[in-house]
């Protein structure tokens, strides 16, 4: 049994490191092929690293590359993750950011276009896909992700306001550095980045599930064997067509778990009526897998 667990952990580690490598390539493509040629700033710590590079080139006798700046600016956040989240999470985050910095440094830019709108859209899309892919495979890309997790654990609140304020400062900086049209282009890139990331990373998108079945125990056992979720049972429901006895089950899952739910229902009761709708917000305890 121990050998099996070690094998599973080794497989998961290889998968996460491989994902970190893919993320590094994608963010370097976004940076070197689109953002830098188009004078577009990214969001979060990556955008701050770009700003540091621009300021050092203009006002200092030496230049701090975006690759080095990205890693150095994340160091305090690595320490925060190590102390407040978990050692494993901090290590994988460090590997991911290192891969991104290394790939940005090593991957030579290919001149495709300097059109700022094209660079904003495609840079945001490529980076959003890479970030979403990393989050989907259980690794963080560093930056404000770490701060968000710590704040949510301490206060239960989202980092949304802080994230928005930080990115607003990045957009304003783009305006001062390259002209105000570029602030607008950078804002377009941020929106595209966020939308593609949401499309790729579905774990935080919550869905309410209503199941009407005449085999409640079998369905509950099957769902909880596939997904770690609580289920509310409503007994003595009546079907209007045949007037037969039904049970209504309610649960909340993430969109990431949709395939597991469908598999569980096919195993337990493929004739059950299942209604699934998007949720805006959940109050109270909702289990999130540990990082």
Tens-place pLDDT, residues 60-94: 888 899 999 999 999 999 999 898 888 888 899 99
At 195-214, the pLDDT tens digits run 888 788 766 678 899 999 99
**Is the domain of 14 the same as that of 151?**
yes
Q: Which helix (H) or strand (E) holds 224?
A: helix 216-226
- The number of domains in the chain is 2
3-class DSSP assignment, residue 278 = strand
pLDDT category at 146 given cuts 50, 70, 90 is confident
Q: What is the CATH number of the domain that holds 235?
A: 3.30.70.120
Among 200, 217, 244, where does a domain finish? Answer: 200
Nearest alpha-carbon partner for 131 in 50, 201, 41: 201
Q: Are residues 14 and 110 in the same domain?
A: yes
179 in any annotated domain? yes
Write down which residue in 157, 178, 200 finishes a domain: 200
CA–CA dist 29, 8 (Å, integer): 32
Q: Which of 180, 200, 220 is the last residue of a domain?
A: 200
What pairs with residue 247 in β-bridges? 213
Region 119-146: what's the mean pLDDT? Answer: 88
**Is residue 192 pLDDT above 70, yes or no?**
yes
- Residue 67 to residues 51, 124, 215, Cα–Cα distance (Å): 12, 18, 57
Above 90 in pLDDT, residue 239? Answer: no
Residue 86 domain-assigned? yes
Is residue 238's pLDDT more than 60?
A: yes
Q: Tens of pLDDT along 29-67?
A: 999 999 999 999 998 899 999 999 999 988 888 889 999
Residue 127 has pLDDT above 60, yes or no: yes
Strands, sheet with 232-238, edge to edge from the N-terminal-most edge strand: 232-238, 245-254, 206-213, 273-278
Range of the domain at 220: 206-278
Question: What are φ and ψ of residue 176, in 5° steps?
Answer: -70, -35
Across 152-167, average pLDDT:
70
Which residue would you say has higher pLDDT here, 283 or 194?
194
Note whether 40 and 172 are same-domain residues.
yes
Query: Do the Cβ atoms of 256 and 135 come closer than 8 Å?
Result: no
Is 58 inside a domain boundary?
A: yes
Query: What mean pLDDT do residues 262-270 have?
Result: 91
Same domain? 140 vs 257: no
Residues 181 and 113 sit within 8 Å (Cβ to Cβ): no
């Amino acid at each position: 049994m121990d050998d099996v667990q070690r094998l599973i952990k080794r497989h998961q580690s290889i998968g996460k490191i491989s994902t970190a490598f893919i993320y590094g390539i994608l963010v370097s493509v976004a940076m070197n092929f689109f953002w830098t040629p188009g004078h577009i700033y990214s969001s979060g710590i990556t955008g701050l690293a770009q700003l540091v590079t621009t300021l050092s080139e203009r006002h200092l006798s030496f230049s701090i590359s975006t690759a080095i700046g990205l890693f150095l600016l994340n160091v305090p956040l690595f320490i925060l993750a190590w102390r407040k989240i978990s050692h494993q999470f901090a290590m994988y985050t460090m590997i991911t950011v290192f891969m991104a910095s290394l790939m940005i440094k090593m991957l030579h830019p290919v001149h495709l276009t300097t059109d700022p709108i094209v660079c904003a859209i495609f840079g945001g899309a490529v980076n959003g896909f890479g970030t979403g892919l990393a989050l989907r495979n259980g690794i963080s890309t560093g930056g404000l992700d770490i701060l968000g997790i710590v704040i949510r654990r301490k206060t239960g609140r989202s980092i949304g306001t802080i994230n928005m304020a930080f990115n607003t400062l990045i957009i304003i900086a783009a305006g001062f550095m390259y002209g105000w049209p570029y602030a607008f282009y950078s804002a377009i890139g941020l929106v595209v980045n966020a939308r593609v990331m949401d499309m790729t990373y579905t774990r935080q998108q919550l869905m309410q599930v209503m199941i009407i079945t005449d085999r409640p125990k079998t369905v509950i056992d099957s769902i909880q064997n596939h997904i770690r979720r609580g289920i509310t049972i409503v007994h003595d429901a009546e079907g209007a067509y045949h007037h037969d006895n039904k049970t209504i089950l309610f649960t909340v899952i993430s969109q990431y778990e949709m395939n597991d739910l469908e598999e569980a229902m096919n195993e337990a009761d493929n004739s059950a009526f299942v209604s699934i709708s998007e949720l805006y917000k959940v109050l109270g305890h909702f289990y999130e897998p540990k990082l």
